[in-house]
Amino acid sequence: MDPIRRAALTYAAYFTAIGASWAYLPIYYRGLGLDLATIGLLAAMSATIQLVAAPAWGALADQFPRSRLGLPIAALVAAGGALGLSTAGGLPALAVAVAVLAVGTAGIGPVLDARTLDLLGDAAPRYGEVRAIGSLAFVIVTWATGLLLDRSGTAALFVIFVPALGVTALAALGLPRAGGGRRPGVRGGVGVFVRTPGVAAFLLGALLTWALLSAANAFYSIQIVALGGTPQMAGLAWALGAAVEVPVMWSHRRLVAFAGAGRILVLGAAVFSVRAALAAAAGGPEWLVAIAPLEGMAYALFTVGGVGFVSSRAPAGLAATAQGVFSAALGLGVILGAAFGGIVAASTSIATLFAVTAVGGVLAVAIVGVAARSSGGAAPALAPARGGRRSDTGSVAVLGDPSHAVPEEVHP
């Protein structure tokens, strides 16, 4: 199998695992008798671990540029954590399993993004088309897993979750490496990347964007029900958003060619803010469902554009480190956003929270715009990290037709 097809298979397997688990693990925890506060603490612990682990995995991948083992090991660690969740007999064992799962999953997405961009080489603008394979798998598997759980109970999610992580490890094992010399350690690599012109401003903008998005998303389903909707309507809203991601990611290269990478990145951040403003004014659940595709559109534009921005700014040999830092910034945004959203919603209302995130989004858009114009112009389209190579196979393959090239942070 050629490297790009294998990268697409790895994305499909990984997002199959996410699709089987992301929406349903909280329900599984609830079925074990955990209260909402404990479930929230587990989620916060997981996000905090990933905040540290993602840059560490990236730095290790760059430290050993010829090794193919890092990504498969991360997937196997995640599979071990998922298996532990399925058999945990009490809260201590459950917490350990959640921690192991968080450590493993933190090393999959960022490193896989960096490896895929390296394999694509000069065809890096087609990254969105490859990444779209993962979102398509997520949409299909999330729906199919829901049907399975209706019949067999929530524990059945592990029938898909654990094997999918195992397949991710097997698929990743065959991804070639470009090679090169040893790179700086974790601290050195992160420091070099963050000091690159434009990077610190972009990470700040991404952090603020993701914090505001997470604050709104945490209460979106609750607001649908509060306005008279049903849980099924809430599920429909998220399904619509995820479905929109696929064509937008697939078209990202063409959008960049038309409008420029910097403008598309800023547009992604802006659409998040627009969706929050519309949600604040929603008078019924139908309206929240109707505007849900905006979130999927913004997610696709911002995440693909963000991966491209980070790749274009990553110094030679620090591609995986750079993606790990980007992932960590988004993870910190999730933690801060959830806490901020809870405080604002509890003291005012969910509609007010949406309005606050819309206003804050304007600042986030401005910061991202400044970063996108740094270093002498708008952020370039997806490009291999400086000094990168196409791959050790010497080819950039596509899925059949040349127009159909092929790809946390899904989007859970």
**pLDDT confidence of residue 124:** 81
What is the rounded CA–CA span in Å between residue 149 and residue 97?
Answer: 21
Contact 210, 330 (CB under 8 A): yes
pLDDT of residue 296: 93
- The widest CA-to-CA distance across the chain, in whole angstroms, is 60
Print the SS3 string covering the chain. Answer: CCHHHHHHHHHHHHHHHHHHHCCCHHHHHHHCCCCHHHHHHHHHHHHHHHHHHHHHHHHHHHHCCCCCCHHHHHHHHHHHHHHHHHHCCCHHHHHHHHHHHHHHHHCCHHHHHHHHHHHHHHHHHHHHHHHHHHHHHHHHHHHHHHHHHHHHCHHHHHHHHHHHHHHHHHHHHCCCCCCCCCCCCHHHHHHHHHCCCCHHHHHHHHHHHHHHHHHHHCCHHHHHHHCCCCHHHHHHHHHHHHHHHHHHHHCHHHHHHHHCHHHHHHHHHHHHHHHHHHHHCCCCHHHHHHCHHHHHHHHHHHHHHHHHHHHHHCCCCCHHHHHHHHHHHHHHHHHHHHHHHHHHHHHCCHHHHHHHHHHHHHHHHHHHHHHHCCCCCCCCCCCCCCCCCCCCCCCCCCCCCCCCCCCCCCCC
The pLDDT of residue 354 is: 95
pLDDT of 30: 79
pTM of the predicted structure, to 2 decimals = 0.74
**How far lies 289's CA from each of 19, 68, 227, 237, 278, in Å?**
20, 43, 12, 5, 11
Please report the pLDDT score of residue 112 as a whole number.
Answer: 92
> What is the predicted pLDDT for the residue at 382?
46
CA distance 147 to 180: 47
- Residue 187: the pLDDT is 54
Domains of the chain: which residue ranges? Answer: 3-372
CATH fit for domain 3-372, picks 3.40.190.10, 1.20.1250.20, 3.50.50.60, 3.40.50.300: 1.20.1250.20
What do you get for the CA distance between the two ends of the chain, in Å?
A: 29
pLDDT at 411: 45
Residue-level pLDDT, tens digit, the chain, 412 residues: 788 899 999 999 999 999 888 778 887 887 888 886 787 788 878 888 988 898 889 888 888 878 888 899 999 999 999 999 999 878 999 999 999 999 999 999 888 988 888 888 888 888 888 988 988 898 888 888 888 887 888 899 999 999 999 999 999 998 887 655 555 555 567 778 888 888 999 999 999 999 999 889 888 888 988 899 886 787 788 888 888 988 999 899 899 999 998 999 999 999 999 999 999 999 999 999 999 999 999 999 999 999 889 888 888 778 888 888 898 899 899 888 888 888 898 899 999 999 999 999 999 999 999 998 874 444 444 444 433 332 232 222 222 222 222 233 434 4
The whole-angstrom distance between residue 276's C-alpha and the CA centroid of its chain comes to 20
The pLDDT of residue 205: 95
